[in-house]
């Protein structure tokens, strides 16, 4: 890894739909956060009249999140982040964190997190209410069900036993 490298940690749709060029990707872990379907999506997985629910990260001591770290060279990074800032514009902010690369070292990385209180924050909804919304919502990027099921599959491959995501997956599959 050269000093010009820039890493991005993806933990949601960025895991299974990166939509950008990169030099390499590696499974990685971010500690101190948990994934939560608490972000309204009115531009990707829902509409303004029926916003879907997508994931953000909430700080939680002792928790950890598996994801994919993507490495860019410095020349790629600027254009990539302009595009990602647009894609993640509904409440997400780019933050700097420290991640653990599988079979490797610690690395500084960027991650898109939608903080509590942002304009799209759905707050602490019950899983059954989140699942009911996911079952109904569709947006320009596809159905909210597809977002959830693809994320759950990707997390299984990464060995992330995320109880919140898998409870929602079970609820949605049972209702279909």
Q: What residues are labeled active site? A: 88
Record the tokens describing residue 90, joined without a space.
Answer: 């509904």
Which range touches ligand SIN (CB under 6 A), out of 8-16, 99-107, 135-143, 163-171?
8-16
Which range touches ligand SIN (CB under 6 A), out of 5-13, 23-31, 100-108, 161-169?
5-13
Q: State the minimum distance, in angstroms, from the CB of residue 137 to ligand SIN.
A: 14
- Other CB atoms within 10 Å distance of the CB of residue 79: 12
Smaller CB separation from ligand SIN, 94 or 136: 94
Contacting residue, 7, 11, 37, 81, with ligand SIN by CB under 6 A: 11
Residues 61-90 that bind ligand SIN (CB under 6 A): 88
Q: Name the residue with tokens 């997400």.
A: 92
The residues pairing with 27 across neighbouring beta strands, listed in sequence order, are 68
Contacting residue, 22, 37, 110, 112, with ligand SIN by CB under 6 A: 112
- C-alpha span between 33 and 36 (Å, rounded): 10
Angstrom CA distances, 156 to 15, 33, 41, stand at 12, 18, 24
Residues 35-64 that bind ligand SIN (CB under 6 A): 54-55
Contact 157, 117 (CB under 8 A): no
Helix (H) or strand (E) holding 28: strand 24-41
Residues in contact with ligand SIN by CB under 6 A are 10-14, 54-55, 88, 112
């Amino acid at each position: 890894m050269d000093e010009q490298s820039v890493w991005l940690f993806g933990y949601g749709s960025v895991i299974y739909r990166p939509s950008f060029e990169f030099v390499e990707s590696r499974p990685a872990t971010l500690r101190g956060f948990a994934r939560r379907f608490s972000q309204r999506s009115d531009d990707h997985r829902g509409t303004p009249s029926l916003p879907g629910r997508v994931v953000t990260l909430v700080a939680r001591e002792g928790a950890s999140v598996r994801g994919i770290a993507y490495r860019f060279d410095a020349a790629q990074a600027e254009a990539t982040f302009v595009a990602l800032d647009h894609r993640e514009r509904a409440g997400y902010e780019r933050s700097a964190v420290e991640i653990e690369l599988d079979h490797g070292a610690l690395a500084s990385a960027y991650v898109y997190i939608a903080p509590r209180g942002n304009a799209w924050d759905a707050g602490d909804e019950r899983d059954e209410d989140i699942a009911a919304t996911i079952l109904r919502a569709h947006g320009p990027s596809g159905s909210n069900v597809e977002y959830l099921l693809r994320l759950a599959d990707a997390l299984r491959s990464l060995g992330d036993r995320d109880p919140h995501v898998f409870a929602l997956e079970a609820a949605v599959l049972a209702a279909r």
